[in-house]
Amino acid sequence: MNDDLNGVIVIDKPANITSAKVVAIVKKLFGAGKVGHAGTLDPEATGVLLCCINKATKIARFFLTGSKKYEGVLHLGVETDTQDAAGKIISTSDELNFTEKTIQAVFKQFEGTIEQVPPAFSALKHKGVPLYKLARKGKAVIKPSRPVFISYNKIRKINMPFISFEVCCSSGTYIRTLCSDIGKKLGCGGHLKKLRRIESSGFTINEAVNLSELEQLFSTGAINDRIISMSDSLRNMPEYIADKFLTKKIKHGSILTTKEFMPRNTDNLKNFIKIIDTKNNLVAVLKFKKDINRYNYCCVFN
């Protein structure tokens, strides 16, 4: 078992495979003790899946809340029970004589903060049971709507009844629900035909390797070049370089206040701070608590 390799690898997930299966493949190839992903993709979806290896599983939560970018295809005039192409057709419509201006206007309505009802066929749980399991038994549970944020929702191409689009959104946004809601707003219904995640928490599809490439990298011994270190993977987190004395205090769990260190940019005190040593190794992630003037330990690495 290889417990010495720690970091993040960006996988280009293929279609018709679960995110959990990808994690299992990565774990077996690396011989890792632990592997986890940061943000599930539906089995039919492709694209960026962040896999955290060994100690990096401790920082996976910092990627879960990051924004996402997707490329998708909306199929108008056909509504399914799962809101995507894998579901059963529940209604159809031939009334698709929309102008481009009308379609653009409806897409524009789904930007900014919107309310979204999670799909009945999802991994969200009700009394400990995933919603999709209840829905398959004919016991669909509808969760209350919740706010999500869509930075932009751009139409790339219209070839009726298909609309290719790109969307940038907050974590927790269901793109198939977005497609279903746009279809309802137009009055014809619709579902998500195809989905590809092109960015997640700042990691792009250009950094990703597919599963075939992953095996080739192992065979040539070049796999380490694609592993992103834990410190480098926390790209948008302010950092503080600790000397040996501070590093020792952190590893012993000593109480830390602004007397021990003060980041150059005081705005950092409002956020998580990554502490690295002089060799760029991640020592800890801290968060400042202003009311008690001390840093709380989020995770520490020996």
CATH code of the domain containing 22 = 3.30.2350.10
Q: What is the 3-state secondary structure (H, E, C) of the chain?
A: CECCCCEEEEEEECCCCCHHHHHHHHHHHHCECCEEECCCCCCCCEEEEEEEEHHHHHHCHHHHCCCEEEEEEEEECEEECCCECCCCEEEECCCCCCCHHHHHHHHHHCCEEEEECCCCCCCCEECCEEHHHHHHCCCCCCCCCEEEEEEEEEEEEEECCEEEEEEEECCCCCHHHHHHHHHHHHCCCEEEEEEEEEEECCEEHHHCECHHHHHHHHHHCCHHHHCECHHHHCCCCCEEECCHHHHHHHHCCCCCCCCCCCCCCHHHHHCEEEEECCCCCEEEEEEEEHHHCEEEEEEECC
Residue 264 structural domain:
237-300
Mean pLDDT of 183-209: 96
> Which of the residues 42, 232, 277, 291 is marked catalytic?
42
Residues 56 and 96 in one domain: no
Residue 126 above 60 pLDDT?
A: no
Q: What percent of the chain has pLDDT over 90?
A: 67
Q: Do 215 and 189 reside in the same domain of the chain?
A: no
Q: What is the pLDDT of residue 136?
A: 59
Same domain, 209 and 180: no
Let me know if 291 is a catalytic residue. no
Asked if 44 and 90 sit in the same domain, the reply is no
The pLDDT of residue 134 is: 47
pLDDT > 70 in the chain, percent: 89
Band of pLDDT at residue 135, cut at 50, 70 and 90 = very low
At which of 177, 211, 232 does a domain end? 232
The mean pLDDT value of the chain amounts to 88
Looking at 176, 210, 232, which one is the last position of a domain?
232
CATH code of 274's domain? 2.30.130.10
Do residue 120 and residue 46 come from a single domain?
A: no
Count structural domains, the chain: 3
pLDDT tens by residue, 31-49: 899 999 998 898 899 999 9
Residue ending a domain, choose from 232, 253, 273? 232
Q: Domain check: are 86 and 149 in the same one?
A: yes
